A and B are shown apart, each in its own frame.
Chain A
Amino acid sequence: MNWLNAVVAGVLVGGLYALYATGLSVSFGVMRLVNLAHGDLAVMAAFLSSTLVLSAGGSPFWTILVLLPVGFLVGLALQRVVFDRLVGVDPAFQIVATFGLSIVIQNALLRVYSADRRALDVGKLKVDSVSIGDLSIGVFPLLRFLVAVAVLVSLSLFLGRTKLGRAFRATSDDPVAARLMGINNRTIYMVATGIAVSTVFLAGVFNGAQTNFATSDGPGLLIFAFEAVIIGGLGSLWGTLAGGIVLGLAQTLGAEQFTDWPSQLFGHVLFLVVLAVRPNGLFGRVEA
């Protein structure tokens, strides 16, 4: 691999991190909630996808059409049953409750799917690439990146241009004032969590098609999502994409320079540097 290839690969893997991080960013932006079970939901989606493929056949891609609405419904239920109790209270409760949720999901998956690793088979697509001179671009990472950008564009159009999106931003600014406008904040929170779980389900399927997965992988995925959000800046969607890309670049460029070091280390180090130097992230809004 040369430097140019490392840059392209870093940007593209950043798309996956951004897709992971979108849901965290939405949850935090709208209701200041950090869901530690976020990564486990991605793993759950990958297993659900593999079940669908095993029973109905075909490529994992069609399962996305099922998993997006299922994810939305899972989000509504989670909000109603668990997260509604965590909005506006001491963050310690959020940590305990969502960490507990993470354990519950992992054990439920273990019970159903055992500890064996699985993979989603997308066939030749996984290794296909297009070459431009020395530059070689993986088709699958490119597709994944474009999907992430499409999700972020749709979300930002939703937030910026629609009546419900405006209500989201108003609730994020001041939930009490939003209620005084006649906005039912519980509905807003349910839709927000619906969106968050749908997007992380999407990310889970893409991750499962890239690499194999096991029931205990969730927390490892959460770290990437978390780092992308923090690097990009809390509450900023485009910052989340930038954060994902910066994280991806740190990994691929780090690995290019220090070939015998684990690539993920460089992402973690960069994350700590950002946290120390710019705690609000690269594009973070200043929190009141």
Chain B
Amino acid sequence: MALLDVEVVDAFYGDFQALFQLSLAVDEGQAVAVIGANGAGKSTLMKAIAGIVPARGGRISFDGIDLGPRSVHHRVADGISLVPEGRRIFPSLTVEENLLVGAYRGRPGPWTLTKVLETFPLLQRLATRSAARLSGGEQQALAIGRALMNNPRLLLLDEVSLGLAPTVVKDLYASLPAIREQGTTLLIVEQDVTRALTAADIAYCLLEGRVSLSGRPAELSRPAIAAAYFGTEVSQ
């Protein structure tokens, strides 16, 4: 049984349908990447799993339990943490307070304030600073660290690289192995295809709210990915 099972799910933004009969599975311990162009439905998928956007039709289950009736905060207590697009750190709280809010549910596990600060050393000297005064990269590290404070079984990373310099993105991705070492399962949404495929065991490509391609990154050819990404025919 997969840890996360998304089965033929539809999702809407108002009247606009963003996901069509989408299915996807993530096994415990895996890192799964979801790639796709702007508007392909990647973020909607993440929000549907976290519970911010309702999934209509179909079923999303976590560890065998139907998430349908579970509200956002229950899902967090179950061990699903989302690092949201745009980071959404709490600007009026200090860095340390942001991390402590991440531990609100008090889930036991390896991640503590000390451990998170060790994993993201750049946050160490900023602990007492207002989070509003961090750079984009520091905010993203904080957003990931804050999610880890919940000791999630499944960590959803939505567009970690958005708006950040390549060297900063490289550092952030370098922290993923340390997170996986703790047994955390990763679902990564990313526009940077190469980055996502390198980090993942399995990749799904979305196109207009549907899965257009899936498989192990090594087995997916460049032309096939390009075709699935842009919705064009595979040219031989």
Binding site for B on A (CB under 8 A): 163, 166-167, 169-170, 172-174, 176-184, 285
Are B92 and A172 within 8 A (Cβ)?
Answer: yes
Number of interface residues of B (CB under 8 A): 25
Q: Which of B73, B92, B105, B147 has the most CB of A within 10 A?
A: B73
A268 to B105, CA, bound (A): 46
Cα of A192 to Cα of B97 in the assembled complex, Å: 20
Interface residues in B79-138 (C-beta closer than 8 Å to A): 81-82, 84, 88-93, 97, 100-102, 104-105
Instruction: Provide the residues of chain A in CB contact with B22, threshold 8 Å.
Output: none
Which residues does chain A contribute within 8 Å of B97, judged by CB atoms? 166, 169
Are B90 and A169 neighbours in the complex by a CB distance under 8 Å? yes
- Tell me if B150 is interfacial: C-beta within 8 Å of chain A: yes
CB of A93, distance to nearest CB on chain B (Å): 19
Cβ 8 A contact of A174, one of B82, B88, B104, B105: B88
B9 within 8 A of A: no
A-B contact pairs, 14 of them (CB 8 A): A163-B100, A167-B101, A167-B104, A172-B92, A173-B90, A173-B93, A179-B52, A179-B72, A180-B50, A180-B52, A181-B105, A181-B150, A182-B150, A285-B92
Q: How far is the CA of A163 from the CA of B99 in the complex (A)?
A: 12
Pick the residue among A163, A177, A182, A285 that contacts B90 (CB under 8 A).
A177
Identity of the chain A residue whose Cβ is nearest the Cβ of B97 in the assembled complex: A166
Chain A residue nearest in CB terms to B76? A182
B128 to nearest A CB, angstroms? 13
Cβ–Cβ contact B90 & A174, under 8 A: yes
Q: Is the CB of B52 within 8 A of A178?
A: no
Q: Which residue of A has the minimal Cβ distance to B52?
A: A176
User: Provided the pairs A173-B90, A173-B91, A174-B88 are in contact, do residues A180 and B101 lie with their beta carbons within 8 angstroms?
Assistant: no
Known: A178-B101, A180-B81. A173 touches B73 (CB 8 A): no
B30 to chain A, nearest CB (A): 22
